[in-house]
Structures are given as C-alpha cells and as structure tokens.
Structure 1
Amino acid sequence: MAALRDEAERRKGEIWEQVAERDCGGRAERGMGGDGVREAEAAQWRAGTIEFQGVGGPWMASEGLNSLFPMTDLSTMGFAEIIPRIPLLWYRLRQAVRHVERFQPHIIVTIDSKGFNFRLLKAIGAEYKRHGRDEEAPFCVHYVAPSFWAFKGGEKRLQHLSPLIDHLLCILPDEPATCQQHGISATYVGHPSLEAIAEEQKDRQSEGGETCFETSQQQQHGIPATPVGHPPLEVMAEERRSRQSVGGEASEGAVQREAGKRREEGGMEEEEKQREPHSTGVDQPWWKATGDGTSFRRQHGIPVGPQHIAICLLPGSRLQEVSRMLPIFIQTVDSLTKSRWLRDHLDSQGPDGTLSLVIPTLPRSSNVTARVESIFHSWLDSLRNKRPSKKFPFSLLPPLPSNTVVDIAAAVVVPALEVNASVNSRMRMIKPGPDADTFAACDLALCVSGSVVVEVLRSQLPLVVTYKANWFSQFIVKQRASIQYASLPNILLNKPLLTEVLFSECTPHNLSSNIRFLMENLDKCKARQTATAHLFYNVLQEPLNSNVSHAPDSELAHTPSKIAAQVIFTQFNS
C-alpha cells in the first residue's frame, strides 16, 4: 500500500468513475462493488491525494461523489425496452465524454452496464486519438465482465474489447482464463456477495461474537482466512470437474417444456429429485446470513406461527421490471388467496392461519418505490372498491371479497435504504433493518432473476425464480442464448437446483403451482437451499483461498472490493 500511496501522490491519481450502481430486489448493490473500490482508497482521497469524479448512485454520493447526472438514467435492460430511451442515453454519453475531456483523468473505472460503458470507452479513445494524444489516454479498467458465456459466439466478441480495456475485473472464477485467451488482461476479484459475508463476519468479530473465519497468522500476511467447514480444495476441485463434465446445450424452450412435463400431476416430486444436491453436513455454514425474523414480524404486524405464512415478493429494481412483474406477482397471490387448498394447508398448521406479503424496495424517494405503491394500491382498490389508506411502510388489509378464502393479514412495503448524516458529518447509507431480518421473517420468496437470488440463497429461503420480458426481447434471447438457466447458482453449478419459471411459462397459474409445492415441502426445500448455497459459495471462494498474490500487504482486507482496488493500482503502476 505504501507504494500505491506514493504513486497516487506523485501522479495525483485522479479516477473518473462511471458506476452502474443498481438495486436488485430492494437492496442497493453499492455499484456492484464500486463502493468498496472507493473505500479502499478513501483515506488517500480525503487527504487530497485522489480525486474522484463521475456518475454514481446514493452509495457513491455517501462517499462524497457529486454525480454528473442521475445514474437512474442508465438503468435499463432488454432490447425493445431500450429503443425509446436511445435519445437520452446518447445525450448522457456525449455529456460523459465531454466531462472526461475536461477532467483529464489518469484512470477510468467503468462498472457493468456494458452497452453504455463500452461505447463510452470507445468514444473517449477516439477523442484522444483525434487529438494525437494516444500516449496520454487514461488507464481503463472495467468491473464485471460481459456475460460472454451466456450467448452463442460470445467468447469471440471479447477480442473486440481488447482495444478498449486495459484490465478487466471479473466476479466469476472461470472468466479470467477465457478473457486472457482473447487478449484481455483480467483478474478474478471475487463475487460482491462475498463482500457482504466478510462484512458480517467482521461485525460479529468486533462485537465479540463467534465468527466462522479463522483469524490466524494467515491474515497478517494477506492470505485469506479459510472458512470453518469449508471443504478441502481437492474436494471442491473434484466437484467442479464433475459439474464441467455435464455437457450439452439446450434451448430455453426445450428446457421449459421438459420442466413442464415434470410438473404435470404427480410429477413435481420427480423434478425435485433432479434438483436435489448432496447434503454437505455443515452445521454452521460460513456464508449463512442470520436475521431476526420474529422481531421483524412483530415490528410490521405480521402474525407469528407456522400457520401464518409470509411470502417475500421481489419484483425487480428497475422501473420497467416492477411495472411488468409486480402485477403478475399480485395475480399469483390473488390466485392463492382464492384457493381452498391454501386454507386447508394453513389449517393443518394451526388455527386462524393467514397469508402475509413482504416487498423489500428502494428508499422512499425512489420512483421504483412509488410504482410499487401505485400498483399495490390499484390492487387494493379493485378488492375494496374504495381508496385505500396511504400509510406506509405497511398496510393492513380488511376482509377481502367473499370469493377469497384466505385473508391477507399484512402487506409490508419495506424501504431497504435511507440516507442519514453520520457523526462525522459525512453522508452514509443506513438500513432501518438488515435484509437478513426481512428474509428471515418470510417462509418463501418469489423473485425476479437477478443478483437478489444470491442474497435470498444466503438466507436459505426457498424461492421461485422468474422473469418475463418484452416479446421481442424474449425472441432474441431464445435465439442467442447458449445456457440453460437464468439464475447464477444454476448457471455456475450447471444444475436446475433453483426453480425457474421463465418467459412464456411465467404465468400466475404456474407461479402459484410452484409456490404451492414449496409450501408443502418447506423443510425439504430449506435443506436443499442450504446444500445449494454451500456448493455455490465454495465455487466463488475457492480461487480466493488458493491465490494469495492479490493482497501481500496486511493493510488490505482480502475482500472483493479491496482486491479490486489493489489490482487497479497495481496494474496502473506496472
């Protein structure tokens, strides 16, 4: 770190950041690791040795960044969905290029949002070349590799990125080797979910509680602590070879049709046998998120007891996702409440059973939260035929129409993040309650495919992963996709361990059928989630355990964000 500080001071290490910070199902992801990159050099920055400018969200603002423009302007996805936003995106692109020309940074860090960022880097390179200043061009680092493994011919497209990127920071362990084969310098820095695990372990240790990580002399020399219960590396290597030996590609349609056949009457159990991973035998997983679900329920008026089922709805983080998916989720819940099966199931667990909904979302000021409330109240209007109360964070529903069998006891909309001033007058983000508490309070989850799946997995919460896009986007994906699954755990483990209901299969009927199966087999599904999560997190952690070259200085914690910061400055100075 001393050499990095000296170099930053000598060069006035200015960094221009375009941060694709995004929320996934209600929890801001801190720029997919961008906050950690900044925190790694926060001391030098506050001392005046590093200057940050660029685009970011609330987490970056909490560190003092004045965003060039609202980062939400870049929050879009799909194919047809982007068309109406092209003029705005083009304007923001030119605005960013002009700012870089004025700022003249030494380093540019772009994060995710490949459609915007790669065009940005190309335009910046063209400007430097046009002025004959190629040698003065900034060092360009991109965080989060494009999903080349998800589409046919994706690997070949990597070679077009070589002129744009000086170094690529990857969050999946097998990505760097492929990138390097196509001429791109790359490093695996760890998945952002490992950051959250490390932070929680650090908090437990500082509070004097138990920690699942060893604190031996390894850490003093930059060697990552080995999680208690972590299997030997040779065992994990054998697991990986076993997974990679499962070859072949299948179209999304074929996979969905096969899944549909297994879901026919009497066939759901057979499908679950195909999903079942081997038990790990780990009593206290090192990756597990622990929360106080009972306190959360009492705080938000959700009844406690096995006959009181709470479903966590995670309709996405983008406005277009929420607008498309939340109505489907509500129709699914509506179908469940009218089901005699649900009443019989709740009665079998105890008297006066209820169903509750929990919807984690963004801060109150977010337009996504406003859309959630709007859609939710429209549903209440249709049920109650009058204007519902505007009180939040939760609404209690009165008895529903006569055709409804199960009352909804509580509907809780939980803002995930708020901004408050800390004691040192710097702005920081705090949560009214940890996500782990939210998930611990629920019995199962219905979520849009995305990073939130990984968070739910840590909480061992049975879930159904789903997604439905514009018909044109669905057509393009089906034509180009080279993978069978949508959720990262299924992709990385190459098995349908998590239930996925995608595209044309995403209907209230299919979703309610899968939720029904989870409710009938909660204990079994939780055990399966535990085994799946253990396999998944071992795959992510293994390369960091076996590679000690990233953090030779004891001042750097061996976390994804700190590794990323180390790699950026090491590559810049090399």
Structure 2
Amino acid sequence: MKVFLVAGELSGDRLGGALMEGMRQLMPNVEFAGVGGPLMGAQGLESLFPMDELSVMGIAEVLPKYRHLVKRMHQTAKAVLDWQPDVLITIDSPDFCLRVAREVKAVSTIRCVHYVAPSVWAWRPKRAQKMARSVDHVLALLPFEPPYMEAVGLRCDFVGHPVVTEPVASAEEVAAFRAQHRIDDAPLLVALPGSRRGEVGRLTPAFGEVVARLKQKKPDLRVVVPAAAPVADAVKEAVAGWPHAPIVLDPNLMGPEEGLAQKRAAFAAADVALAASGTVSLELAASATPMVVAYDMSWLSWQIMSRMALIDTVTLVNLVSETRTVEEFLGPAFQPEDIAPALLRILDNPEAQQAAMALTMERLGKGHEAPGLRAARAVLDGLGA
C-alpha cells in the first residue's frame, strides 16, 4: 500500500508520525511519501521540501509568501499524481492541504483523507461544504466535531487526541529538573511564545514585560522557555532583552529524547504557564499545569478573524471541558498589565483549573487505544483494507 502524507507544521508532524507508526503496525508493507517534519522522518518519510516553509499563520503574514506557497502546493499535487498512492492524507494546515486535495481530486479518483477537522464550529462554517467536494473522509481530534462533517455528507471518525498518550514527567523527573536548573522551591513560570517565527517576534517582547511585572510581586520567580527547534535561535535572541534572563531549553543542543524529556519536565515542574493560543494548552492540561493564554496578531488578521468568530473562547481546554476556566488575552486584550495579575491569581489558586483539565483529558480519549492507531484503523477501514 502507498500512502502520501502532507503536514505543514509541528503539530501536524506529530500527528503524522503517530499515524504512520499505527499504519505500520496494521500493514507492515506500507510505503510513505510526502511532506513532513522530523517525527514523520523518523517513520521513514523523505520530505519533498522542508515542512517549516508551510508554517505560516495569519492572513497578513501569509500574503508576502503567497506565491511561494502556491508553487509548493502545485509541486505537492504533482508529486501525488505522479506517485499514484492508494490514499492521500493531508494533516491540518487546511489552507494549504485542502488546496492540494482539490487539485488532486480535479484530475483523479485518489481517495483523500483529511486529518484534523477544520474548526467550522469556530469560524467559516461553509468550509465543511467546500471540503466535501475534494475530501472523502475526515479524522477528528475533538469529540464534538463529527456531526459538523457528517451534516455535509462526509465520513468523519473521532480518533482521539495524541496528547492523551504522550508521557508526563514523574515526580522524580520534576525534582531532577528543578535541581538541574537550580530552581529548588522557587515558583516557576513556563513561557510558551509559539512555534512560528512570526509568533515569537510578536509575543516575546510582551511576555518579557509580563515577567518583569511578576518579578515585582514574586522576586524569587524563575522562568523557563521551552523553545521549538525551528525557532530556538529566534527565541534566544528575543528573550535576551528580558529584564530577568530565563532558562531557555534549546532542543537543537540535545538529543531528540532528551529534548522531549526536558520539555515534559518543564511543563510538569511549572506552577503556572503563560502560553500562546494553540494545542499547547492540551499539553499543559495533560501535565495538570494551570495556564493563562495570551496571543496577538496583525491588526488586519485580528479585524477579519474577530468578525468571523462563532465562539467566545479559542482555548481547547475551555471548549472540550465546556467551561471557561482558562483566562484569555487576545488581540487588543493582549496587555501585560492585565496578563500579569491573571497569572498571579492562578499562582494563588492553582486548583481552579484542575477539574476542567482532567475532564478535557478524559473526553479526548485518555485510557483508550492510541489515537495514531485509531486513525490508522479508520483510514484502512475507509479503504476497505
């Protein structure tokens, strides 16, 4: 069996790697081709081009790179058609991936599966109808998503979220992390300014102002910044201007396993997190680390997206648990003088989010079959294999 996969960012690479591992378990002779990152590479994928070329978010941010992205889209679709796989699996990054699927479907009958249902419940609901013209099957990460896809005639399987199977640091690993970095019993903030260069550039200066305000109230506060590998240098450069130097975890200076272990330990060791909006909120929830979510974007992107939004929260912990326990500071509300007090409130009352985080993990499939294997099983079932 031949499977062509396309992922456009780190979260998609993680999903793709787990799916590929699951497919190998169920069908050992499977062949892979496509676009992906290091985790998909570890499963045998030779990426058509570097995945991080596609890791662009925000309308204003995409425009300068639009022509290059279109070129990569055509290149990817041609590679699919030349290889003639049994199935094309596009993973998240819908603005790129669904265009590839549409181009492939226009001239072939290759089955197309899209992994991660687009958030039609959040904005642009008509995407589900457009998607149904070029996609045969959707794999959903969130339990409330299948009805939105099925309403337009798409097969959609909830396969669980990979965060529920990822290891969490033990008490011993947390103690070792604090000792290694000489944190001891000091309060610890984990700062997560995103995995894209644009995010790092926008968010990090304000995060530094938040840290400065927190240090005025908590002089012994320590800060750790686990950097994503593609933006580690940018993160180090950006935090160099912070008034209090944080501990930066650069995975490029560690082996893959050590890098992941250090990140897990940082999450579990932290008393509170300041995080960019995204799936990282689920990783923090898995570690039972209370958080505040803060995110900014260009004025144009905010004006467009805020007018199209159908929901009152973007944080997945809030959405999955059907609560609003995680405070958000988005767009115009992205103000250090408001974010810092919210973090202090969490430091004083960390139990406030515990029930919501536990419920989120349960609803995402904790304790069930691994999502990568469930996703692989759903793909093969759709193929009749």
TMscore range, shorter length: over 0.9
Q: 2 CA distance for matches of 1:84 and 1:464?
A: 31
Deviation at 1:362, TM superposition (A): 2.3
Q: 1 CA distance for matches of 2:268 and 2:18?
A: 26
SS at match of 2:187: strand
Write the mapping of 1:249-288 to structure 2, written as runs, cut at 5 A: none
- Structure 1 stretches of 5 or more lacking a match? 1-12, 23-28, 129-136, 201-287, 344-353, 384-407, 421-428, 546-557
Q: Deviations over 1:300-338 (max 9, x none)?
A: 232x12xx222111000111111100111011112333x
Write the mapping of 1:36-115 to structure 2, written as runs, cut at 5 A: 36-42=18-24, 49-115=29-95
Q: Deviations over 1:132-171 (max 9, x none)?
A: xxxxx211111000000002x61x4312221211111011
Name the residue aligned to 1:402: none
Match of 1:441 among 255, 266, 269: 269
Q: Deviations over 1:75-108 (max 9, x none)?
A: 0111111101101101101111221222111110
Supply the AA of the counterpart residue of 1:513: P
Write the mapping of 1:169-318 to structure 2, written as runs, cut at 5 A: 169-196=139-166, 200=167, 290-291=170-171, 292-302=173-183, 304-305=184-185, 308-318=186-196
Name the residue aligned to 2:115: 143
Match of 1:533 among 357, 366, 372: 357
Q: 2 CA distance for matches of 1:301 and 1:563?
A: 41
**Highest Rg: 1 or 2?**
1
When structure 1 is superposed on structure 2, of 84-93 and 288-297 the one drifting more is 288-297
Name the residue aligned to 1:573: 384
Q: Deviations over 1:508-560 (max 9, x none)?
A: 111112122223x1xx32x2222111222232239x96xxxxxxxxxxxx211
Q: Evaluate the alpha carbon distance shift between residue 43 and residue 436 of structure 1 in structure 2; reply closer, same or farther with a 3 A threshold.
A: closer
Match of 1:371 among 229, 234, 252: 234
Q: Deviations over 1:379-409 (max 9, x none)?
A: 16xx6xxxxxxxxxxxxxxxxxxxxxxxx4x
Name the residue aligned to 1:453: 281
Deviation at 1:64, TM superposition (A): 2.0
- Structure 2 stretches of 5 or more lacking a match? none
SS at match of 2:248: strand
Match of 2:198 among 311, 315, 320: 320
Supply the AA of the counterpart residue of 2:383: F
Q: Deviations over 1:213-238 (max 9, x none)?
A: xxxxxxxxxxxxxxxxxxxxxxxxxx
Deviation at 1:44, TM superposition (A): 7.5
Match of 2:105 among 111, 122, 125: 125
Q: Evaluate the alpha carbon distance shift between residue 468 and residue 318 of structure 1 in structure 2; reply closer, same or farther with a 3 A threshold.
A: same
1:418–1:430: 8 Å Cα contact kept in structure 2?
A: no
Q: 1 CA distance for matches of 2:257 and 2:214?
A: 35
Q: 2 CA distance for matches of 1:475 and 1:435?
A: 34
SS at match of 1:516: helix
Deviation at 1:195, TM superposition (A): 2.7
Deviation at 1:480, TM superposition (A): 0.6
Name the residue aligned to 1:431: 258
2:214–2:221: 8 Å Cα contact kept in structure 1?
A: no
Match of 1:342 among 209, 218, 221: 218
2:114–2:139: 8 Å Cα contact kept in structure 1?
A: yes
2:346–2:352: 8 Å Cα contact kept in structure 1?
A: no
SS at match of 1:498: coil
- How high is the TM-score relative to the length of structure 1? 0.63
**Runs of 4+ residues over 6 Å off in structure 1:** none
- 1:502 is the counterpart of 2:378: no
Q: 1 CA distance for matches of 2:318 and 2:89?
A: 30
1:449–1:466: 8 Å Cα contact kept in structure 2?
A: yes
Name the residue aligned to 1:210: none
- 1:356 is the counterpart of 2:222: yes
Deviation at 1:20, TM superposition (A): 3.0
Name the residue aligned to 1:161: 131
Deviation at 1:418, TM superposition (A): 7.0
Q: Evaluate the alpha carbon distance shift between residue 419 and residue 299 of structure 1 in structure 2; reply closer, same or farther with a 3 A threshold.
A: closer
1:21–1:34: 8 Å Cα contact kept in structure 2?
A: no
Q: 1 CA distance for matches of 2:270 and 2:25?
A: 40
Name the residue aligned to 1:33: 15
Q: 2 CA distance for matches of 1:108 and 1:88?
A: 22
Q: Evaluate the alpha carbon distance shift between residue 480 and residue 332 of structure 1 in structure 2; reply closer, same or farther with a 3 A threshold.
A: same
Measured on the aligned residues, the alpha-carbon RMSD in Å equals 2.2
SS at match of 1:146: coil
SS at match of 1:496: coil
Deviation at 1:573, TM superposition (A): 1.6
1:32–1:111: 8 Å Cα contact kept in structure 2?
A: no
Deviation at 1:32, TM superposition (A): 4.4
Q: 2 CA distance for matches of 1:319 and 1:174?
A: 31
Q: 2 CA distance for matches of 1:518 and 1:56?
A: 37
Write the mapping of 1:525-564 to structure 2, written as runs, cut at 5 A: 525=350, 527-541=351-365, 558-564=369-375
- 1:511 is the counterpart of 2:339: yes
SS at match of 2:107: helix
Q: 2 CA distance for matches of 1:416 and 1:483?
A: 35
Q: Considering Cα pairs closer than 8 Å and 6+ residues apart, tell me whether 1 or 2 has the greater RCO.
A: 1
Q: 2 CA distance for matches of 1:44 and 1:185?
A: 21
1:418–1:431: 8 Å Cα contact kept in structure 2?
A: no
